[in-house]
């Protein structure tokens, strides 16, 4: 006879029930009396199996027999002897009791309902028991037992918390520790919300901290379930006026927003007089009288407090995240499958989150969880997954996809009710990452500078909104500063770049006033110094001043101890500063000093490669530096062959990166190295050989311009490449081709000038040389 699902389900249910009273045959018989024969047969078979498996495979937990409490006198409840009354709850007395059955020592709190209230609030009391049964959390006082005394008084036996109310317990502790303990309480509240329970009467005397710093929520006496099982009579329960939200005072049933409000008031008391503007802002937002302007969830409040805490030098978490991401991505986990899987997971989770975010209050707790999951997943992808993929060549397009998807999700979440300033900051950072991968020079990118500008505009718009009350916070100001630093990269060699850098500096300095010890802000300011030095050379044609500036910034970035999270950015800045310094020295004809700077940069790049492996971004830096080294050596007597070898080495490394997939930054370095190779071969008296890299250089520049036809930067690249090519063609005796190329270059310079993007150095040197070339090669 085949198993019937109805019979099996029922039999399992009954066996489970009978485990409650294993030795009470009468009770078991009563349970079975109205069951069918089939069910009874299955129950006895399962009980036999249980005895069998129990003897052969003994169970690990002893039966809990001794907790029947009915027969004891009032001074004794179950295994507990009442010691003294420790408080009066909303519904009745609370007693300290001690276990006296000799098994072990245990202190508990026994909570009774006042006899007169049984009829009125008995249901609420029972609801509390049900509610507590679903709240197993270290931050919530545990329900141990419950029942009814001989006098028919219901009681609950709870974990006893030997501590102080949170406001007293926090008094005199350092602020960071106070916030840490507050977060524990908030976590417990959020846990309850996740279980669809609203506490509804949060106040310091319901949040205890014991001597070991453990935090426990007490008294879910008027808690309410959000999924329909509302406690009858709960709305009539007394609540604590001082911590009740305006909505509650007006008689509305309790919601998540009321718990947020109460936590906000507790935080406000904690923050008051500490002089921390950020913390004050968080407390104010949590306790806003207008529910719509309050945090949408405790999770959102926690997220902001976490961010607040992260401003302290904590980097261990980042390191372990990255480590876990590496584990996650390793081996056959890499590549397309992982990216696809992550995107898929994100899109599924996000669809649910966005849907739920607009649903009714009773689904809000779930919606918040999803919301946070999506946000975390987006961050996981954007930082850990992205960083891991960045270690491998050929992943530019995939990384762009990840960055775009994550940024879009975060931006969508920002429109929902749960949005917070921290989320907005995340979304803005995503767009910055997206911009970098789309087209910021110096890092692996897709070569779409116009898209990058758009992404930066989005980041800027998000940041400018701030938290929509009061002035911008330090982290917003700093991030806006970095947006302008990014934008500087998209328009070097023109007046616009100086403007971007000025704006970046202004914002970063404002951030520094608010957060004087922030490493990220200091690093941003030093990047601005580097940009200034660079512009001194290329826009203002003032190499001597540039060298002084670069040296000063270099000294500062080298002397500072950077936290792990910023160490790689700082290392890159050092390399870039050495590069600017080398260029400045080169421009002032101090070739020895230039060579020394480039060689130092090369050592730093090699150290980074030794640490991280040949990541594309590092190979690109190495390629740029190979050009600088080769160019300097090429101008030194008798070192052309050495220069050629370095150029060839750079070309080989970059081509290896490009073989794995397109990368505009690698291309850019490659094309200048082609030009360099051609120049060196020409100097070595091999004009025919020189034509090979020279043609490759021009072809690559043409392709790049075709991909972004309005980009003045690429016009300039091509104009310069063509200029050099004209010389190589002339040397090889190809006069007609040389004239064509010279004319094309001249036309490009005219277009650049018409766009208002002609730099001073180009105007002084390259444009006149272009005209000379036309005259020489197209002469009548």
What residues from 331 to 350 belong to the interface with another protein (CB under 8 A)? 331-333, 337-338, 340-342, 344-345, 348-349
Give 227 or 589: the residue with its C-beta nearer to another protein.
Answer: 227
Q: Nearest distance from residue 369's CB to another protein, in Å?
A: 7
Q: Nearest distance from residue 37's CB to another protein, in Å?
A: 8
Burial of 688 (0-12, 13-18, 19+ CB in 10 A): exposed
Separation in Å, CA 180 to CA 132, 187, 615: 25, 10, 38
- Give the separation between CA 647 and CA 630, rounded to whole angstroms: 6
Contact letters for another protein, residues 185-214 (x by CB under 8 A): --xx-xx--xx-------------------
Among positions 636-695, residues that touch another protein (CB under 8 A) are: none
Q: Nearest distance from residue 172's CB to another protein, in Å?
A: 23
Among 169, 170, 231, 374, binds another protein (CB under 8 A): 374
Give 59 or 211: the residue with its C-beta nearer to another protein.
Answer: 59
Among positions 251-310, residues that touch another protein (CB under 8 A) are: 298-299, 302-303, 306
Among 136, 210, 468, 772, binds another protein (CB under 8 A): 136
Among positions 16-45, residues that touch another protein (CB under 8 A) are: 16, 19-20, 41-42, 45
Q: How many CB atoms lie within 10 A of CB 751?
A: 15
Give 64 or 105: the residue with its C-beta nearer to another protein.
Answer: 64
Q: Is residue 369 involved in binding another protein (CB under 8 A)?
A: yes
Give 224 or 487: the residue with its C-beta nearer to another protein.
Answer: 224
Q: Nearest distance from residue 398's CB to another protein, in Å?
A: 16
Q: Nearest distance from residue 373's CB to another protein, in Å?
A: 4
Q: Are 123 and 131 in contact (CB under 8 A)?
A: no
- Region binding another protein by CB under 8 A among candidate stretches 241-249, 326-334, 440-448, 613-621: 326-334
Separation in Å, CA 136 to CA 143, 188, 302, 545: 8, 10, 20, 67
Q: Is residue 166 involved in binding another protein (CB under 8 A)?
A: no
DSSP state of 3: P
Helix (H, G, I), strand (E, B) or coil at 540: coil
Q: Nearest distance from residue 463's CB to another protein, in Å?
A: 21
Q: Nearest distance from residue 331's CB to another protein, in Å?
A: 7
CA 13 to chain centre: 45
Q: Is residue 3 involved in binding another protein (CB under 8 A)?
A: yes
Separation in Å, CA 529 to CA 166, 213, 547: 48, 46, 11
Q: Is residue 449 involved in binding another protein (CB under 8 A)?
A: no
- Give the separation between CA 519 and CA 509, rounded to whole angstroms: 13
Separation in Å, CA 69 to CA 72, 96, 225, 666: 6, 16, 28, 78
Among 29, 56, 84, 242, binds another protein (CB under 8 A): 56
Q: Is residue 49 involved in binding another protein (CB under 8 A)?
A: yes
Nearest Cα to Cα of residue 422 among 271, 260, 307: 307
CA 409 to chain centre: 13
- Region binding another protein by CB under 8 A among candidate stretches 49-57, 103-111, 478-486, 724-732: 49-57
Among 131, 158, 169, 184, binds another protein (CB under 8 A): 184
Q: Nearest distance from residue 148's CB to another protein, in Å?
A: 18
- Give the separation between CA 721 and CA 34, rounded to whole angstroms: 94
Q: How many CB atoms lie within 10 A of CB 281?
A: 19
Among positions 89-108, residues that touch another protein (CB under 8 A) are: none
- Give the separation between CA 283 and CA 305, rounded to whole angstroms: 10
Give 1 or 312: the residue with its C-beta nearer to another protein.
Answer: 1
Among positions 58-87, residues that touch another protein (CB under 8 A) are: 58-61, 64
Q: Nearest distance from residue 69's CB to another protein, in Å?
A: 16
Q: Are 364 and 355 in contact (CB under 8 A)?
A: no
Q: Is residue 354 involved in binding another protein (CB under 8 A)?
A: no
DSSP state of 764: I
Q: Where are the beta strands (DSSP E) in 472-625?
A: none
Number of residues that bind another protein (CB under 8 A): 75
Q: How far apart are the first and last CA of the chain?
A: 107
């Amino acid at each position: 006879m085949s198993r019937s699902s109805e019979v099996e389900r029922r039999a399992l249910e009954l066996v489970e029930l009978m485990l409650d009273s294993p030795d009470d045959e009468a009770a078991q018989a009563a349970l079975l009396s109205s069951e069918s024969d089939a069910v009874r047969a299955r129950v006895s078979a399962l009980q036999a199996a249980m005895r069998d498996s129990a003897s052969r495979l003994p169970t690990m937990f002893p039966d809990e027999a001794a907790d029947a409490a009915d027969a004891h006198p009032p001074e004794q409840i179950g295994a507990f002897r009442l010691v003294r009354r420790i408080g009066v709850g909303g519904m009745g007395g609370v007693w300290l009791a001690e276990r006296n059955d000799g098994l072990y020592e245990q202190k508990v709190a026994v909570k009774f309902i006042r006899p007169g209230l049984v009829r009125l609030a008995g249901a609420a009391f029972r609801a509390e028991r049900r509610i507590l049964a679903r709240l197993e959390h270290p931050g919530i006082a545990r329900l141990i037992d419950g029942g009814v005394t001989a006098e028919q008084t219901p009681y609950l036996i709870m974990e006893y918390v030997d501590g102080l109310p949170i406001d007293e317990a926090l008094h005199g502790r350092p602020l960071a520790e106070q916030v840490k303990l507050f977060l524990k309480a908030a976590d417990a509240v959020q846990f309850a919300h996740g279980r669809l329970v609203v506490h509804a009467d949060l106040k310091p005397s319901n949040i205890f901290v014991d001597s070991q710093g453990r935090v426990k929520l007490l008294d879910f006496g008027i808690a309410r379930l959000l999924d329909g099982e509302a406690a009858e009579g709960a709305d009539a329960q007394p609540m604590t006026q001082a911590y009740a939200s305006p909505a509650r005072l007006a008689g509305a049933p309790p919601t998540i927003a009321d718990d947020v409000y109460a936590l906000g008031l507790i935080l406000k008391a904690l923050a008051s007089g500490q002089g921390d503007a950020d913390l004050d802002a968080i407390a104010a937002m949590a306790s806003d009288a207008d529910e719509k302007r309050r945090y949408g969830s405790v999770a959102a409040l926690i997220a902001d407090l976490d961010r607040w805490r992260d401003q302290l030098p904590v980097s261990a978490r980042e390191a372990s995240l990255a480590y876990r991401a590496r584990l996650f991505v390793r081996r056959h986990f890499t590549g397309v499958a992982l990216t696809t899987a992550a995107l898929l997971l994100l899109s599924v989770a996000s669809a649910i989150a966005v849907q739920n975010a607009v649903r009714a209050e009773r689904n809000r707790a779930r919606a918040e969880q999803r919301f946070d999951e999506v946000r975390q997943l987006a961050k996981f992808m954007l930082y850990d997954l992205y960083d891991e993929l960045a270690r491998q060549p050929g992943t530019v397009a995939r990384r762009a996809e990840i960055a775009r998807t994550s940024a879009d999700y975060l931006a969508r979440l920002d429109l929902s009710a749960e949005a917070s300033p921290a989320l907005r900051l995340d979304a803005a950072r995503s767009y910055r990452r997206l911009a970098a991968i789309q087209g910021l020079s110096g890092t692996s990118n897709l070569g779409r500078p116009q898209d990058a500008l758009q992404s930066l505009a989005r980041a800027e718009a998000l940041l400018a909104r701030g938290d929509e009350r009061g002035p911008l916070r330090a982290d917003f100001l700093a991030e806006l500063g970095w947006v302008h630093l990014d934008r500087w990269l998209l328009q070097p060699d023109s007046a616009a770049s100086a403007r971007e850098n000025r704006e970046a500096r202004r914002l970063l300095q404002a951030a520094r006033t608010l957060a004087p010890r922030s490493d990220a802000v200091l690093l941003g300011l030093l990047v601005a110094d580097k940009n200034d030095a660079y512009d001194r050379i290329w826009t203002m044609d003032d190499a001597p001043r540039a060298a002084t500036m670069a040296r000063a910034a270099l000294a500062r970035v080298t002397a500072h101890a950077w936290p792990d999270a910023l160490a790689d950015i700082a290392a890159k800045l050092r390399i870039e500063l050495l590069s600017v310094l080398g260029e400045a020295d080169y421009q002032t004809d101090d070739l020895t000093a230039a060579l020394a700077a480039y060689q130092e940069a090369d050592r730093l790049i090699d150290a980074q490669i030794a640490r991280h492996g040949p990541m594309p971004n590092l190979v690109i830096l190495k390629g740029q530096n190979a050009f600088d080294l080769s160019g300097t050596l090429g101008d030194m007597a008798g070192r052309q062959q050495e220069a050629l070898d370095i150029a060839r080495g750079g070309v080989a490394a970059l081509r290896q990166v490009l073989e794995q997939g397109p990368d505009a930054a690698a291309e850019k370095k490659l094309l200048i190295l082609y030009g360099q190779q051609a120049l060196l071969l020409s100097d070595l008296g091999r004009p025919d050989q020189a034509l090979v890299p020279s043609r490759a250089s021009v072809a690559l520049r043409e392709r790049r311009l075709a991909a972004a036809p309005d980009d003045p930067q690429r016009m300039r690249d091509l104009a310069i490449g063509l200029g050099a090519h004209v010389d190589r063609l002339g040397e090889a005796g190809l006069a007609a081709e040389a004239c064509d190329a010279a004319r094309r270059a001249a036309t490009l310079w005219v277009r650049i000038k018409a766009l208002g993007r002609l730099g001073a150095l180009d105007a002084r040197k390259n444009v006149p040389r272009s005209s000379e070339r036309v005259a020489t090669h197209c002469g009548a």
